Amino acid sequence: MNNSKNVLNYMFGKGTINNLDSILNVKKSVSNYVVYYIDKYFQNSELINKLPIKENDEIFFVQTKDEPKTQFINEFRDILVNKNKNNPKAIIAIGGGATLDTGKAVANLLTNPGNAEDFQGWNLVKNPAIYKIGIPTISGTGAEASRTCVMTNTKSGLKLGMNSDFTIYDQLILDPDLTQTVPREQYFYTGMDTYIHCIESLGGRYRNAIGDAFSRQAIELCRDVFNSDDMMNDENREKLMIASYLGGCAIANSFVGVIHPFSAGLSVVLDTHHCIGNCITMNAMEEFYPKEYVEFMKMVQKQKIEIPKGIAANLDDEIYLKLYNSTVIHEKPLVNALGDNYKSDILTLKKVTEIFKRM
């Protein structure tokens, strides 16, 4: 039986970022320095002036052109070890899913001997991580709430997180003012990650009442946001931030379905980013999620969002084979969605190729 864990503390509301200093002051520690991972977008922004940065603190600006790789996480760890700063009072991550996952992964690695790739899987992290605070600046992935941190091992091609209770943030600051500057298209793609996680969960075989409740509420909030005239007004940015948090709690209690494995295929083979990859996959999902497909497309139209089409329409057979392999490898979600015989009965090479061509 699952013994579920959630984030212990969270502060929600406009301007809550200003409480970071008092949260750090309350926290007891033998160390007096803090390590920040901040989305590079904010490098020269006002936000930096609002942070209680002290002389001894370490600040890293995280690029988001590439999603996290195990190698980047090992490098971040090495820098801290070499500077003798491997036991900070706190790790603070400020950004989207990529940056939040970076903070989680480094916090685990600093207290567990080994490299990032050694902990890709379920419950492989043995020691509690460094105390960490997550501050999302874009809503949708649920990375702020989930018990994983997605990374790709480029050597093995494995894209998998460190699934562990130790990966969960100790403290969140959910300040909807921080999402004001997100570009519209990105706001939609990332926001839809929550909607997609939740429709996949509710469409699965392994369900439970708690996962269902989180999912239903997150979907309702997404509907409010993406069917409204101004999806990015103050109220809607608040709602989407809550939807993202609830969606993260939902996946901790359930599994995804057909969409995420196809999106992962796009990511591993064509380097497509996670959230836009999900939206591209939706183009071809009518047969698996008929009602949700129609609802999703209505929201795309309402918000006048451009979803790239045809990115996998004309590829070589060898690439389709790679796409197939990196899709059907995701057993847990595919069994959840399609049953034990998903590979022999439904997702044959021919069928998977056809689905990619339809995107």
Give the strand pairing for 150-153 and 158-163: antiparallel
Shortest distance, position 24 Cβ to ligand NAD, whole Å: 22
CB 67 within 8 A of CB 274: yes
Shortest distance, position 104 Cβ to ligand NAD, whole Å: 7
Shortest distance, position 148 Cβ to ligand NAD, whole Å: 5
Name the residue nearer to ligand NAD (CB basis): 108 or 179: 179
Of Zn ion, ligand NAD, none, which one sits near residue 214, judging by CB under 5 to 8 A according to partner kind? Answer: none
Stretch that binds ligand NAD, among 15-23, 124-132, 186-194, 293-301 (CB under 6 A): 186-194
Contact status: 200 vs Zn ion (CB under 5 A): no
Amino acid of residue 199: I
Instruction: Rule CB under 6 A: choose which of 178, 282, 337, 338 binds ligand NAD.
Output: 178
Contact status: 333 vs ligand NAD (CB under 6 A): no
From residue 327, alpha-carbon distances to 132, 269, 271, 276, 302 in Å are: 33, 10, 14, 16, 30
What is the spatial distance between Cα 35 and Cα 220, in angstroms, rounded to a whole number? 36
- Other Cβ atoms less than 10 A from the Cβ of 197: the count is 30
From residue 233, alpha-carbon distances to 42, 176, 180 in Å are: 21, 10, 8
Angle among Cα 217, 181, 235 to the nearest 5 degrees reads 35
Name the residue nearer to Zn ion (CB basis): 47 or 268: 268
Binders of ligand NAD among 92-131, rule CB under 6 A? 95-99, 101
Name the residue nearer to ligand NAD (CB basis): 132 or 274: 274
Name the residue nearer to Zn ion (CB basis): 57 or 193: 193
Instruction: Rule CB under 6 A: choose which of 149, 202, 266, 328 binds ligand NAD.
Output: 149
Shortest distance, position 233 Cβ to ligand NAD, whole Å: 15
Contact status: 193 vs Zn ion (CB under 5 A): yes
Name the residue nearer to ligand NAD (CB basis): 268 or 275: 275
What is the spatial distance between Cα 175 and Cα 102, in angstroms, rounded to a whole number? 20
Binders of Zn ion among 69-128, rule CB under 5 A? none
Q: What one-character-per-residue DSSP string does 167-228 give?
A: GS-SEEEE-GGGGTTS-HHHHHHHHHHHHHHHHHHHTSSS--HHHHHHHHHHHHHHHHHHTS
Contact status: 39 vs ligand NAD (CB under 6 A): yes
What is the spatial distance between Cα 250 and Cα 228, in angstroms, rounded to a whole number? 24
Contact status: 67 vs Zn ion (CB under 5 A): no
Close Cβ partners of 286 (under 8 Å, ≥ 6 residues apart): 293, 294
Give me the residues that bind Zn ion (CB under 5 A), please.
Answer: 193
Give me the residues that bind ligand NAD (CB under 6 A), please.
Answer: 39, 41, 64, 67-68, 95-99, 101, 137-138, 141-143, 146, 148-150, 161, 178-179, 181-182, 186, 190, 193, 274-275
